[in-house]
Chain A
Amino acid sequence: MMNFDYVRPATVAEAVAAASEKGATYLAAGTNLLDLMKGGVCHPSRLVDVTRLPGLDGVEYLADGGVRIGALVRNADLAHDAEFVRAFPSVAEALLSGASAQLRNAATVGGNVLQRTRCAYFYDAPSACNKRWPGAGCDARHGENRLHAVLGWSEACIATHPSDFCVPLVALDTVVEIEGRSGRREVALEALHRLPGDTPQRETLLERGDLIVALRLPAEARGFAAHARYIKVRERTSYAFAVVSAAASLRIEQGTIREARLALGGVAAKPWRARAAEQVLAGVAPDAAGLREAARIALADAKPSGDNAFKIELAQRILVRALTLAAAGTPERIPALPGSPFSSVSGVHHVA
C-alpha cells in the first residue's frame, strides 16, 4: 500500500480537523479500509486513527427508550449485548450473520455502515469503475453481474451495498449522528447512503471531515422486538456476503399486523427500505397471500441490471420468508446459524 501519514487525535474536534485535509480518511478497526488499500482500490495520504477517541465506544440506553450506539462499538459487542438483543433482535441477528467472528470482534458499527461495495469491478483496479474514477464507465454493467443491483441502479453504477447490519437498522428508522467541520448534525440512516445516479462516487451524504459518532435507534423500534427477523441467502452456509437479504419487523396485535418495517439487502447501492410494502401490510393478517402481495409491491420497481433477474424473484421470496418467520415470533435465542434459512427455529417465541 501507498505510504501515508498516521495521526492519532485525542479529541473529536482534532480528528475532524485532521480528516478535513484532502486525501485524509478515518481509520477505525481497518477491516474494510486496509483491505481496500491493499487492493489498490483507495490510496489515502493520511489515516486519522479514531480508535482512541473518548466516549464513542459505549451503548447508552436512553431515558426515552431509544438506544445510542457509539460509532466505535465493536460489532460483536453490540450483537452480544443482552439488553440490545432483547430490544432489537433482528439487528443482532443481522450483525451475527455477517463476516466472521474475528471480523465482528474488530469491526466497528461506524465502519460497518460505511463499508464499501463488494462489486468485483470496484475491487479490480484496472477495470472501469465510476466510483473509483468518475467518468471512466462501469465494466460491471455488461460484465459478470449476476449479483448486482436490481433496484435504484443507474447506467453509471450497478453496485450493491454489502452490509447486513444496515438492513434492519434502516427498517427501524435509525438516525446517524455526525460530527463535522460545522458541528454536529443528524441524518436518517436511510438518507445517508445515496443512490448512484450520475455520481456513484458520492456514496453517502458525508462531507470531507465528517465523522460518524453514533447511531441512534428510536424508542418505537423496540415495539417490534417480538416479531423481528433477518434472513440472508448466501452461497455457502456462513462467512459469505448476501445474495439477497431481508429484515422484517412486525407489530402484531390480536393477529393483525399493526405496523410493519421491511428492508432489503444486496439489492441496491443502499440498504433498501420497502415503505410501500409496509403500508399494505398495516392492518392485515399475516397470511401467505398478503405477504406475497407485499413482497410483490416491494419489488415492483425492480429491474435486472444484467444477468440477475433471479434476484428480483429471490428478493420477493426472501421477504415473504422473513415476514413469515417474524410473524411466527422472534426466537428466544439467536439461532445457531444467524440469518440462515437453515436456522429455522419454528414455534419458539421471544420473550421481549
Chain B
Amino acid sequence: MSPEINLTCDPAHLRHGSNIGQPLTRRDGILKVKGEARYAADNHPPGMLYAVIAVSTIARGRVTFLDVAAAKRHPGVVEVMTPSHKPPLAEDPDGKPNPFAFKMELLQNDEVRYANQAIAVVVAETLEAATEGAALLSPQYHVEPARVGLDDAKSYLPPVVGIGNPAEVRHGDVDAALAGASNRIEAMYETSAQYHNAMEPHAIVASWDGDKLSIDTPSQGMAIAQMRLAGLFGIPPGNIHIRSPFLGGGFGSKGLVSGPQVLGIMAAKLVGRPVKLVLRRDQMYGPVGHRPPTRQTLRIGTDGEGRLTAIDHHAKVTTSTFDDFYEPAADASHTLYASPAIKTSHEAVRVDTGTPLFMRAPGEATGSIALESAIDEIALACGMDPLDFRLKNYAEVEPISGKPFSSKALRQCYAKGAERFGWAGRPLTPRQMRDDAGFLVGWGMGTATFPALMFQAQARAVIRSDGSGVMESGAHDMGQGAWTVLAQIAADGLGLGIDQVEFRSGTSDLPDAGIAGGSAHTATAGAAIHNAGAAVIAKLADLATNDERSPLFGAGNAGVIAREGRLFRRDDEARGESYTDILKRAGLAEIEASGGGAADPAAQSNYAMHAHGAVFAEVKVDPELGQIRVTRLVGAFAAGRIINPRLVQSQLFGGMIWGASFALHEEAVMDHRSGRILNANLAEYHIPVNADVPSLDVLTVDEHDPHVNVLGIKGVGEIGVTGSAGAVANAVWHATGVRARRFPIRIDDLLMRLD
C-alpha cells in the first residue's frame, strides 16, 4: 500500500461477517474523521509555489490589456503566465483528439468565450501574494454582447445528445396517436442552470522532473486524464503519475481533466518548481462544467381507460459557442412508460458560457422532473391516482426498443415504497390535507430510473505465500465508497477476509479501473476485480490440482472453490488446503493474474438494462407565505446486487437530496447583459442544508440480474436524483393546487396563486 493512502484498520469498523452484501463501515472512515485523508490541495512538496488564475469578467470578446508589470511588482509574485508567456503545448487545446476530449482555455489566445474563463495565471511565494497579483492584472477588454439565454440565439438540431445518442428518436406515430387520444396534456417545463459545486474545489499540485510529471489532483478518470495530459504536453502517458486517493466530491465535474488543472501543470513547467493551483469557489462557475438550462415540452395522450397512447418529449438545451455537449433530457421518456408511440427530440442553442458537462444524472435528472410532472398531469386528466396510472402503464418491455429488461423489480418498488410512505388513501385532488399547525400538506411521487452501464476496467490480483492477498485497480473514491466496496469484492474474489487483502487504488500507476461515472464504477471495476480474483484462484488451483502432493490433486473436472484462504474440492469439501501450503510447496512467494471488466455485447444487444425506483415525497407549504419544506422522502430502489447496504443507502439519500434540491433550490442566476453568474457562491446558490432534510427513508428491492454484468450490479450513484425531483414537484402541486412548470419552484411562483 502506498504510504500516502494508509487505510488504517478501523476500531469502529463493523464487520458483520464478510464481504459482499455486508454493511461494512467505510474503510477510509478513520482517515476522514481525523482529517488525515489527504486531498489534492493538502499536498505541499518542498519549494512549492502558489498559482492563482485570473478570470475574465466578460462573457465574450478579447482581452486587450493585462497589467503584468503591476502584478509582478507585488511582493512575492514570481511569474505571470499569459498567452504571450507560457510553456508550449504539443496539442491544440481546441482540438478534439477523441470524443471525450472537451476544449479548454489554456491561454492559447486572447479570446474570451465565457465569464470566469482563465485569462492569466499568477505564481507567487504565498497564496496571499498570488491572489493579490491576479487582482492587480486589471484586465481591459474588447467586449462583445453576451448571448446567454435559451432565446438568445438561433436553435439547431444537435448532431447527437449525451454520449452519441441520436437527437431525435421516433417509435410509432405520435401525432396520429395524440389526435385520437381521449385525454391529452401539453405542458412546458423549464429547468435552471446548475453547477456541480463539489465541496472540494478543483485543485492540483504539479511537479515536473524533466519530462516526468507528478500530480495530485482529484480525478474521476485517471487513465483518461493521463492520455489527455500526455497529448497536451507531448510526453508518454507512463511519464505522468496521478495521485487521486480521495476526491472531495465529483458529481461529473472531475470526470475529465479541466482547463484550470492543466494551467497548474503549465505554471509548474514555467517556473520549474512545484505549483499548487486551487480554484476559488466562484471560479468553479465556468470552466469545470455545469448542467445546462432546459426548456422541455411534453405532449401526452391516453385512451379512455388511462392507457398511454403517445408521449412526445422535446427538449431545448444550451451548449457553449465553441464545443458540443447536449444534455439528453428528452431521452428520459424512452424507457419508463409503455406508450405505443414515443417521440423524443432535442434542439440546441449556443451561448457564451462554459461547455456544459455530465452532472449527476445528466439528461436523466432534467428529463425526469419534466416527465414525472407531466405524468402527474395526465394522471389527473384521466382522473387517476398517480401510482395507479403508472402501474397501468407499466412497461413490461423497454418501450422505445421493444427489448426485454434484463431485470426489473419496479413493481415491487412501487408497492414497498407506497406501503412505507402510506400512500394509500391519498386524496386525488389537491389542497385537501393540512397538518395541526395549518400547513398545506402534499404527497407526490415519481419513478426513478437510470441505465445500468459498463465501461472498461482492469485489475491485478496477487496471492502471497503468507496467505494474504493484494488487489490493484486504479479506482476513484469520490465518496461513493470505492475503497470499501471494491475491497469487499476483492476479498470475495480472492477467497479471503477483507482484512487479509491489501486493496491498492487511487493512483494512475495501477491497472486502469475506468471512469467513475455513469453509476458504473462498482460494476465495471468490480467485474475486473472479480475476474482478476477468479484468474489468480484458477492459477492457484492449477498448481494444486496438478500436484500429486496436494489433497486437491486430480480435482480437475469437479473443480475447486476458494474460501477463507483455502481451496476445497467442489464435490468434497473435506478435501482442501491453504493458499500458503500450495504456494510454499510450489516454491512461490506469490502468484498473480489479471482480469478485465467490460460490457457483454451480446447481453447489451438482447436486453434493456436499467435500475429502477419509486420515490414518494411529502412537502409542507406555508399557505400564506409560500415557503416549502420537504418533510419526508421515501425511496424504494431495485438496482441489482447490493454490495454494501450502508453505503448504498448513503448514495441513494444523497441522490434524493439532489432531487429535492433540483425541485426547490438550485439555480444559477445570470445577468443577461454581462453573462456573469450573480450567485457564483454557496450563500445564494442554494443547496440544501441539514435543516432542509428532516426525514429520509430508503428501501432496496432484491434483484438477481444474470445479464447486466458478472456481479449483477446496476449502480446507485445517480438514480436517486431521478424520480425524487418530480416527486417533490408533484407534492407541491398536491399541497397547493399550483402546478409549477419552472424549477426550482420559487416562493414568487406560488405566492400569488395560493388563495
Q: Which residues of A contact B (CB under 8 A)?
A: 1-3, 40, 118, 120-121, 124-127, 139, 143-144, 146, 233-241, 243, 310, 313-314, 317-318, 320-321, 337, 340-342, 344, 346
Asked whether B625 lies within 8 Å of A127 as measured between CB atoms, the reply is: no
Residues of A within 8 A of B437 (CB): 344, 346
Of the candidates B674, B684, B752, the one whose C-beta lies within 8 Å of that of A126 is B674
Asked whether A310 lies within 8 Å of B622 as measured between CB atoms, the reply is: no
- Asked if B574 is an interface residue, CB under 8 A from chain A, the answer is no
9 additional contacts, CB 8 Å, given A236-B686, A314-B747?
A1-B131, A121-B671, A125-B57, A144-B678, A233-B625, A237-B692, A238-B692, A243-B747, A342-B620
Asked whether B674 lies within 8 Å of A342 as measured between CB atoms, the reply is: no
Asked whether A314 lies within 8 Å of B751 as measured between CB atoms, the reply is: yes
Asked whether A310 lies within 8 Å of B747 as measured between CB atoms, the reply is: yes
Interface CB pairs A-B, < 8 A, 13: A1-B132, A121-B671, A121-B678, A126-B57, A139-B674, A144-B670, A236-B691, A237-B691, A241-B684, A243-B747, A317-B624, A321-B624, A337-B691
State in angstroms the CA–CA spacing of A346 and B435 once bound together: 13
- Asked if B439 is an interface residue, CB under 8 A from chain A, the answer is yes
Of the candidates A233, A239, A317, the one whose C-beta lies within 8 Å of that of B689 is A239
Asked whether B627 lies within 8 Å of A341 as measured between CB atoms, the reply is: yes
8 closest residue pairs by CB, A with B: A120-B678, A237-B691, A126-B57, A238-B691, A310-B748, A341-B622, A344-B437, A317-B624
State in angstroms the CA–CA spacing of A146 and B678 once bound together: 13
CB distance from A322 to the nearest CB of B (A): 10
- Chain B minimum-CB-distance residue to A40: B135
Q: Per-residue CB proximity of B712-755 to A under 8 Å, as 1/0? A: 00000000000000000000000000000000001110011000
- Asked if B610 is an interface residue, CB under 8 A from chain A, the answer is no
Of the candidates B132, B671, B678, B679, the one whose C-beta lies within 8 Å of that of A3 is B132
State in angstroms the CA–CA spacing of A225 and B386 once bound together: 49
Residues of A within 8 A of B131 (CB): 1
- Chain A minimum-CB-distance residue to B754: A317
- Chain B minimum-CB-distance residue to A318: B625
- Chain A minimum-CB-distance residue to B693: A237
CB distance from A339 to the nearest CB of B (A): 11
- Asked if B707 is an interface residue, CB under 8 A from chain A, the answer is no
Q: Given contacts A239-B689, A321-B624, A342-B439, are A126 and B629 in contact (CB under 8 A)?
A: no
Interface centre among A139, A314, A341 (most CB of B within 10 A): A341
Residues of B within 8 A of A340 (CB): 627
Asked whether A118 lies within 8 Å of B689 as measured between CB atoms, the reply is: no
- Asked if B259 is an interface residue, CB under 8 A from chain A, the answer is no
Asked whether B626 lies within 8 Å of A314 as measured between CB atoms, the reply is: yes
- Asked if B272 is an interface residue, CB under 8 A from chain A, the answer is no
State in angstroms the CA–CA spacing of A1 and B439 once bound together: 47
Asked whether A236 lies within 8 Å of B665 as measured between CB atoms, the reply is: yes
CB distance from B629 to the nearest CB of A (A): 5
State in angstroms the CA–CA spacing of A3 and B748 once bound together: 43
Residues of B within 8 A of A118 (CB): 683-684
- Chain B minimum-CB-distance residue to A320: B624
Residues of A within 8 A of B683 (CB): 118, 240-241
State in angstroms the CA–CA spacing of A151 and B494 once bound together: 71
Of the candidates A3, A120, A310, the one whose C-beta lies within 8 Å of that of B684 is A120
State in angstroms the CA–CA spacing of A340 and B691 once bound together: 11
Asked whether A235 lies within 8 Å of B679 as measured between CB atoms, the reply is: no
Residues of B within 8 A of A318 (CB): 625
Of the candidates B670, B686, B690, B751, the one whose C-beta lies within 8 Å of that of A235 is B686
State in angstroms the CA–CA spacing of A337 and B670 once bound together: 31
- Chain A minimum-CB-distance residue to B136: A2
State in angstroms the CA–CA spacing of A313 and B57 once bound together: 36
Asked whether B752 lies within 8 Å of A144 as measured between CB atoms, the reply is: no
> B585-635: which have CB < 8 Å to A?
620, 622, 624-627, 629
- Chain A minimum-CB-distance residue to B669: A144
Q: Per-residue CB proximity of B427-460 to A under 8 Å, as 1/0? A: 0000000000111000000000000000000000
- Chain B minimum-CB-distance residue to A240: B686
> B649-706: which have CB < 8 Å to A?
664-665, 669-671, 673-674, 676, 678-679, 683-684, 686, 688-692
Residues of A within 8 A of B629 (CB): 237, 342
Of the candidates A40, A125, A342, the one whose C-beta lies within 8 Å of that of B627 is A342
- Chain A minimum-CB-distance residue to B620: A342
State in angstroms the CA–CA spacing of A124 and B746 once bound together: 23
Residues of A within 8 A of B686 (CB): 235-236, 240
State in angstroms the CA–CA spacing of A340 and B620 once bound together: 13
Of the candidates A124, A126, A144, A236, the one whose C-beta lies within 8 Å of that of B692 is A236
Residues of B within 8 A of A241 (CB): 683-684
State in angstroms the CA–CA spacing of A125 and B676 once bound together: 11
Of the candidates B128, B669, B689, the one whose C-beta lies within 8 Å of that of A238 is B689
State in angstroms the CA–CA spacing of A236 and B58 once bound together: 30
State in angstroms the CA–CA spacing of A321 and B626 once bound together: 12
State in angstroms the CA–CA spacing of A341 and B135 once bound together: 42
Residues of B within 8 A of A121 (CB): 671, 678
Asked whether A314 lies within 8 Å of B669 as measured between CB atoms, the reply is: no
Q: Per-residue CB proximity of B549-592 to A under 8 Å, as 1/0? A: 00000000000000000000000000000000000000000000
Asked whether B625 lies within 8 Å of A317 as measured between CB atoms, the reply is: yes
Asked whether A235 lies within 8 Å of B665 as measured between CB atoms, the reply is: yes
Interface centre among B686, B748, B752 (most CB of A within 10 A): B748
State in angstroms the CA–CA spacing of A214 and B690 once bound together: 34
CB distance from A273 to the nearest CB of B (A): 21
Asked whether B747 lies within 8 Å of A235 as measured between CB atoms, the reply is: yes
State in angstroms the CA–CA spacing of A219 and B689 once bound together: 38
Residues of A within 8 A of B627 (CB): 233-234, 340-342
State in angstroms the CA–CA spacing of A351 and B629 once bound together: 30
CB distance from B437 to the nearest CB of A (A): 5
Residues of A within 8 A of B747 (CB): 233, 235, 243, 310, 314
Asked whether A342 lies within 8 Å of B748 as measured between CB atoms, the reply is: no
State in angstroms the CA–CA spacing of A349 and B679 once bound together: 40
Residues of B within 8 A of A2 (CB): 132, 135
State in angstroms the CA–CA spacing of A341 and B621 once bound together: 9
- Chain A minimum-CB-distance residue to B282: A39
CB distance from B479 to the nearest CB of A (A): 22
State in angstroms the CA–CA spacing of A310 and B629 once bound together: 20
CB distance from B372 to the nearest CB of A (A): 22
State in angstroms the CA–CA spacing of A120 and B282 once bound together: 13
State in angstroms the CA–CA spacing of A302 and B747 once bound together: 19
Residues of B within 8 A of A310 (CB): 747-748, 751-752
Residues of B within 8 A of A233 (CB): 622, 625-627, 747
Asked whether A120 lies within 8 Å of B674 as measured between CB atoms, the reply is: no
CB distance from A98 to the nearest CB of B (A): 12
CB distance from B726 to the nearest CB of A (A): 20
Asked whether A126 lies within 8 Å of B676 as measured between CB atoms, the reply is: yes
CB distance from B476 to the nearest CB of A (A): 30
State in angstroms the CA–CA spacing of A195 and B177 once bound together: 61
Residues of B within 8 A of A143 (CB): 671, 673, 678
Residues of B within 8 A of A237 (CB): 629, 689, 691-692
CB distance from B729 to the nearest CB of A (A): 16
State in angstroms the CA–CA spacing of A167 and B527 once bound together: 60
State in angstroms the CA–CA spacing of A239 and B665 once bound together: 13
Residues of A within 8 A of B128 (CB): 1
State in angstroms the CA–CA spacing of A118 and B751 once bound together: 23
State in angstroms the CA–CA spacing of A120 and B683 once bound together: 11
Q: Given contacts A237-B689, A341-B625, are A120 and B669 in contact (CB under 8 A)?
A: yes
Asked whether A321 lies within 8 Å of B625 as measured between CB atoms, the reply is: yes
- Chain B minimum-CB-distance residue to A238: B691
Residues of A within 8 A of B679 (CB): 120
- Chain A minimum-CB-distance residue to B748: A310
Residues of B within 8 A of A125 (CB): 57
Residues of A within 8 A of B670 (CB): 144
Asked whether B691 lies within 8 Å of A144 as measured between CB atoms, the reply is: no
Asked whether A342 lies within 8 Å of B57 as measured between CB atoms, the reply is: no
- Chain B minimum-CB-distance residue to A125: B57
Asked whether B748 lies within 8 Å of A144 as measured between CB atoms, the reply is: no
- Chain A minimum-CB-distance residue to B58: A126
State in angstroms the CA–CA spacing of A243 and B746 once bound together: 11
- Chain B minimum-CB-distance residue to A120: B678
